[in-house]
Each structure stands twice: as C-alpha cells, then as structure tokens.
Amino acid sequence: MPSDPKCARRLRACLVIAEPLLRSITELDASRSPAPGKWSPKQIVGHLVDSAANNHQRFVRAALQDELVFAGYAQEEWVAVQRYQQAAWADLLALWLAYNRHIATVMAAVPDEARTRVRAVHNLDEIATHAPPSAADATLDYFMLDYVNHLVMHLRQILGTRWPATSLASGG
C-alpha cells in the first residue's frame, strides 16, 4: 500500500487554503486582467485546469513506464481556444478543485517505488516549471512536487498577499 506522499499532502492543503479565497473573488474581479497581455484570474485557473489535464495523464503513465518523457502543450493557445475568459467563475473553480482532488488521490495511489525511482531518461528540463537540480532528482516524486509548486505560483498571482506564507503552502 503506498504511503501518503508529501506531494499529495501539499496539494490537498493548498486546495483547502485556496478554495475559500478563490470563492471570495467576484465574477467581475475574476474577469479582470491585471495588465494588457496578462491573464485574468479566470484564465489562470483555466490554465491550471489544462495543467491538471496534462499532468494527470503524465503521472499515471509515469507510474507504468521507465522514463519521464512527455509532450508539452501550447499554454497560451489552449487558454484561448477554450475561452476561459467567458466561462463562469464558479464553474471553473469547481472543475479545478475536483480535478486536483483527483490528482492528489492519484499521487497517493502511485507506489512509493515508482514515485521515488530515479529516471535516467526524462525531459523534465523542458516540461517542469523548475528542472531538477541533478540527475539524481529526476523522479516522479520531484515532478509531482513541481506540479504543486507551479500551482502555488499561479495562486500567488491571483491572490497576492492573501496567499499565506506558511511553509506548507509555499513549498517548504
């Protein structure tokens, strides 16, 4: 039986913290872009839905294969094609929350051996938010924690100083 890994615990904790803060944002404020060419909170959460969709299948595949090599995706284009700016804020939040709760379950379900095994073949330097610092860090566990760190980075974009500076919510 797999343990409850740090990545799953951190993701669940982030969702608990983020949900009421995000729900407190009005439809109008969620639609506002902070500057020309910058994503609105709706578009950022839409991007996080896309990240969830892409990483969900990556995590499942990685549990079943020896390498961590995955296709990237055109983030700007995905956000535009799916018209997240026109979506209802409450609907985007519900989708994002449900998807990430499932991803936390997937993270916890992956056997420890598959999560912590060093993978000699990977492209994390191309698809991860932060490339692993060394070849010894190229594990699915690292990639899963990177996913959570990416999510936190975007939550900070939306929430600013309302995002807590706790070690759990900030990556510590």
We report the CATH number of the domain holding residue 78 as 1.20.120.450
Per-residue pLDDT tens over the stretch 108-155: 999 999 999 999 999 999 999 999 988 878 999 999 999 999 999 999
Strand partners, 122: 68
Q: What pLDDT score was predicted for residue 26?
A: 98
Q: Indicate whether 169 belongs to any domain.
A: no
Q: Indicate whether 172 belongs to any domain.
A: no
The total number of structural domains that make up the chain: 1
Mean pLDDT to the nearest integer, 14-27 = 98
Residue 3 has pLDDT above 80, yes or no: no
Question: What torsion do the CA atoms of 90, 91, 96, 101 make, to the nearest 10 degrees?
Answer: 90
Range of the domain at 57: 6-163
Per-residue pLDDT tens over the stretch 34-79: 999 999 999 999 999 999 999 999 999 999 999 999 999 999 999 9
Which two three-digit tokens encode residue 84? Answer: 């997240």
Residue 162 has pLDDT above 90, yes or no: yes
Q: Indicate whether 94 belongs to any domain.
A: yes
pTM of the complete model: 0.93
